[in-house]
Amino acid sequence: MSTIRVAALQMRSGTDIQRNVADFEALVREAAGMGAAYVQSPEMTGILVRSREALFERVRPAEEDPLVGMAAALARELSLFLHVGSTAIRLGDDKVANRAFLFGPDGARIATYDKIHMFDVDLDNGESWRESATYAPGSESIVATLPDMRLGLSVCYDLRFPQLFRAQALAGAEVLTVPAAFTRQTGAAHWHVLTRARAIENGAWLIAAAQGGRHADGRETYGHSLVVDPWGRIVAEAEHDDPAVIVADIDTAAAGAARAKVPNLQNAREFAVAEAVYGRRAS
């Protein structure tokens, strides 16, 4: 048995970085008090602000970011693995990174991951998002090896790209992570279906810490932070959009058991896609 207690933090981050950092600290301490050895926060833990100008006024490089510094200190003080789902990190004059950070119990940085897939969409309710106008996409997937689990990193919109999670599962990831700030509209339609599907098709645990509620910049996010087991069962959920901590005890051996029952990772085959056209005789 390789059991670890994990926690997902549900937040309602706003435009005030110091307040967000304080909220993050309080929730991390609550999770530690519940016995969590691994704690994950949502996408954009440090700041949620829609205005590009306001964002650039506030964000800093990683070495100056107050959330990053607080996370390292908390991981060391509380002796846990602390995964900042993501926050905005300044890269230069015209771009920022949507970057995740993973810290160990000694406070050392284990890994960073920059969100690969940019949320450039137009929704039915008039919402329009162009992350690529502000954020520089990442180009490298990350699988982190911890003492009790191998962890695949992703951020929010990455959830809609199953090839990312399949590559992580093939690289040995037993736990997939999806810190998110799903919109209320897309979350209500797709959040549970997509998170469960990624867990099922890869025979992996999935931990998804989410933003929830109406934020200071006017956006609304779905909440419903989740922990899903490798058989697709939801074992922990915040069934609302308010700030909260959820915990679950996960046994990473369950990933191997699920993959043994349905060995689709082994059974996958290469194939070509051919075209068939009505009116044209097949050769």
Residues forming the active site: 43, 115, 156
SS (H, E, C) the chain: CCEEEEEEEEECCCCCHHHHHHHHHHHHHHHHHCCCCEEECCCCCCCCCCCHHHHHHHCCCHHHCHHHHHHHHHHHHHCCEEEEEEEEEECCCCCEEEEEEEECCCCCEEEEEECCCCCEEECCCCCEEEHHHCECCCCCCEEEECCCCEEEECCHHHHHCHHHHHHHHHCCCCEEECCECCEHHHHHHHHHHHHHHHHHHHCCEEEECEEEEECCCCCEEECCCEEECCCCCEEEECCCCCCEEEEEEEECHHHHHHHHHCCHHHHCCCCCCCCCCCCCCCC
